């Protein structure tokens, strides 16, 4: 029975990497046609393809083009293999193979242009990396079509309008809403399933942009809000959002429900399962969001709920890790009297293009301490030494220094801040396990507490806190 309900389903790279995975995707999409009259699929590049595209482009920028043909062959083989396994119609297989060949040809041409220039600009990188999703959606649409549901590949460059901030562009929701409805509604009316490229978009001049790594989740949120959809489901390879990172702590368990604020905090502080921006358009449009497992579709996964406090599993709900950071400290007794030091520190850091996930300030105002990605530490120390050259000479600032590699551990749960003793339990459990805590910060959103440990303690810290989470 068909109806007017609209469902946006996003399938990540882990769900579209192989013929086996893809046949699951086809089964899920065709199965939901009984429940939703309008279905839009958003898809990522096949697993590993985005990384290989970016690696090829940066090698090309160094003048290394020997590996281009091998990468091109990999792209052709992987997409052909899924087509051959899942698409029965010979003419359709041939058409899509032609499309793949053309896209791979474009990939080689773009990388050769990059190698001649000796430089890969952010704009050029977006052009190269977009090819992954553009190949993927053609194969997925053909596979769905072959299973008996009309489907059509659609490039999100026709739907999502962004600024020109290449590699992490921001959508213009008004323009996006207009274009999305204009392009997708006629297809949906005819019962066709649009299979849209995740991750990519275009600026108002039509130049390809991307939404940042992992951005296909965000694409699904944007398109869900634009249509608008009744539901957005994010399909991955785990049973929704888990209590902690399963790659580090295998005992991680699925969380049935999370509030908007909890889920945003988790995504921001490293739960890779969801791109942190996804939530915003979804909340604003009041759409329901679900995360589920392509390889275990019967499992309910995680649902996003409006109300907080309906906690199924105690006050601590989850714990995440942001790894490979370090703490940067600016200290000096003279800082006390110098106005605007913090503003100058953070504007210097912002100019380097780095975002700061955590800040702590000693109450004496004699030091400011904050987290940055460890890869950026030399660059930022140098930039700050330039900004404060005069203060360093005057000894108003004594030292600007970066710590050893560390990890931000974030404990998330809406009831946590208001429940006495929770922080105490976390800290004593960590203390008993011998975890050394370098810094502490309470999330301004009031649903999280973050602490910084040395890198070697990451696994122990996650596993100790995970074991405090009630079933």
Residues contributing to the site for Mg ion (CB under 5 A): 12, 214
Q: Site mask, ligand ADP, residues 186-225, x = CB under 6 A? A: ----------------------------x-----------
Q: What does 237 interact with, of ligand ADP, Mg ion, ligand ASP, none (CB < 5 to 8 A by kind)?
A: ligand ADP
Cβ nearer to Mg ion, comparing 214 with 332: 214
DSSP per-residue letters across 6-53: EEEEEE-GGGSSSHHHHHHHHHHHHHHTTT-SEEEEEEPPPTTHHHHH
**Binding residues for ligand ASP, how many (CB under 6 A)?**
12
Q: Are 197 and 137 in contact (CB under 8 A)?
A: yes
- Cβ at position 241, least distance to ligand ADP in Å: 5
Are the C-beta atoms of residues 193 and 184 closer than 8 Å to each other?
A: no
Is residue 458 near ligand ADP by the rule CB under 6 A? no
Nearest Cα neighbor of 414 from 266, 285, 290, 272 is 266
* Nearest CA-CA partner of 387 in 340, 353, 325, 354: 340
Q: What is the sign of the dihedral through the CA atoms of 223, 229, 231 and 235?
A: negative
Specify the residue for token string 């208001």: 418
CA distance 56 to 367: 43
By the rule CB under 6 A, 199 interacts with ligand ASP: yes
CB of 270 to Mg ion, least distance (A): 13
If one asks whether residue 246 binds ligand ADP (CB under 6 A), the answer comes out as yes
Query: Which is closer to ligand ASP, CB of 200 or CB of 315?
Result: 200
Task: Give the whole-angstrom CA distance, residue 141 versus residue 309.
Answer: 41
- Figure out which of the listed residues 242, 322, 327, 461 binds ligand ADP, where binding follows CB under 6 A: 242
**Paired residues of 318 in beta bridges:** 412
Q: Which stretch binds ligand ASP (CB under 6 A): 209-217, 293-301, 341-349, 355-363?
A: 209-217
Question: Mind spelling out the 3-state secondary structure of 175-206?
Answer: HHHHHHHHHHHHHHHCCCEEEEECCEEECCCC
Kindly state whether residue 300 participates in binding ligand ADP, applying the rule CB under 6 A: no
Where does this chain touch ligand ASP (CB under 6 A) — which range of 158-166, 213-221, 265-273, 409-417? 213-221
User: 44 or 203, CB closer to ligand ASP?
Assistant: 44
Among 155, 245, 262, 391, binds ligand ADP (CB under 6 A): 245
Spatial distance between the Cα atoms of 362 and 270, rounded to a whole number of angstroms: 26
Q: Which is nearer to Mg ion, 39 or 267 (CB)?
A: 267
DSSP 436: P
Is 271 a residue that touches ligand ADP (CB under 6 A)?
yes
Q: How far apart are CA 100 and CA 88, in angstroms?
A: 17
Of 50 and 360, the one with the shorter C-beta distance to ligand ASP is 50
| 216 binding ligand ASP? (CB under 6 A) | yes
Residue 14 contact partner, candidates Mg ion, ligand ADP, ligand ASP, none, CB within 5 to 8 A by sort of partner: ligand ADP
Residue 247 touches which member of ligand ADP, Mg ion, ligand ASP, none, C-beta under 5-8 Å by kind: ligand ADP
Contact 83, 64 (CB under 8 A): no
Cβ 197 to ligand ASP shortest distance, Å: 9
The vertex-446 CA angle with 442 and 451, nearest 5°, equals 25
Under rule CB under 6 A, which residues in 32-71 are in contact with ligand ADP?
44
194/413 with CB nearer ligand ASP: 194
Residue 45 binds which entry of ligand ASP, ligand ADP, Mg ion, none, with Cβ cut-offs from 5 to 8 Å by kind? ligand ASP
The secondary structure of residue 161, as a DSSP letter, is: B
Can you give the length of the chain in residues? Answer: 471
Number of Cβ atoms within 10 Å of the Cβ of 65: 16
Q: Which residues bind ligand ADP (CB under 6 A)?
A: 12-15, 44, 214, 236-238, 241-242, 244-247, 271-273
Binding site for ligand ASP (CB under 6 A): 12-13, 44-45, 50, 132, 198-199, 213-216
């Amino acid at each position: 029975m068909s109806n007017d309900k609209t469902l946006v389903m996003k399938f990540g790279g882990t769900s579209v990497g192989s013929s086996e995975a893809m046949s699951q995707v086809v089964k899920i999409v065709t199965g939901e046609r009984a429940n939703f009259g309008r279905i839009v699929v958003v898809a990522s590049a096949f697993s590993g393809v985005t990384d290989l595209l970016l690696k090829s482009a940066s090698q090309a920028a160094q003048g290394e083009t020997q590996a281009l043909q091998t990468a091109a062959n990999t792209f052709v083989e992987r997409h052909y293999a899924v087509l051959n396994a899942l698409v029965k119609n010979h003419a359709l297989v041939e058409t899509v193979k032609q499309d793949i060949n053309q896209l791979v040809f474009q990939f080689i041409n773009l990388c050769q242009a990059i190698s001649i220039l000796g430089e890969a600009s952010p704009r050029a990188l977006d052009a190269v990396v977009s090819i992954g999703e553009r190949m993927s959606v053609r194969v997925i649409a053909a596979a769905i079509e072959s299973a008996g549901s009309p489907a059509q590949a659609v490039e999100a460059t026709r739907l999502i309008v962004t600024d020109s901030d290449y590699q992490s562009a921001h959508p213009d929701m008004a323009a996006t809403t207009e274009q999305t409805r204009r392009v997708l509604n006629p297809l949906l009316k005819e019962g066709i399933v649009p299979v849209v490229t995740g991750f990519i978009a275009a600026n108002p001049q039509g130049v390809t942009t991307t939404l940042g790594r992992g951005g296909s989740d965000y694409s699904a949120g944007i398109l869900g809000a634009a249509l608008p959809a009744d539901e957005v489901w994010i399909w991955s390879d785990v049973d929704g959002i888990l209590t902690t990172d399963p790659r580090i702590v295998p005992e991680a368990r699925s969380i049935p429900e999370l509030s908007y604020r909890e889920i945003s905090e988790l995504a921001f502080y490293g739960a890779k399962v969801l791109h942190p921006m996804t939530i915003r358009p979804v909340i604003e449009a009041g759409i329901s969001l679900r995360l589920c497992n392509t390889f275990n579709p019967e499992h309910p996964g995680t649902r996003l709920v409006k109300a907080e406090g309906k906690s199924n599993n105690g006050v601590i709900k989850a714990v995440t890790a942001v790894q490979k950071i370090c703490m940067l400290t600016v200290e000096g007794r003279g800082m006390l009297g110098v106005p605007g030091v913090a503003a100058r520190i953070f504007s210097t850091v912002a100019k380097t293009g780095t975002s700061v996930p955590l800040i702590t300030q000693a109450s004496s105002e004699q030091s400011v301490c904050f987290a940055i990605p460890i890869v950026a530490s030399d660059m930022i120390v140098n930039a700050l030494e330039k900004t404060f050259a005069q203060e360093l000479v005057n000894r108003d600032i004594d030292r600007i220094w970066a710590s050893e590699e560390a990890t931000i551990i974030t404990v998330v749960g809406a009831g946590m801040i208001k429940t006495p003793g929770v922080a105490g339990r976390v800290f004593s459990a960590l203390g008993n396990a011998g975890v050394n805590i370098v810094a502490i910060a309470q999330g301004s959103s009031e649903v999280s507490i973050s602490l910084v440990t040395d890198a070697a303690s990451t696994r122990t810290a996650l596993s100790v806190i995970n074991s405090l989470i009630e079933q």
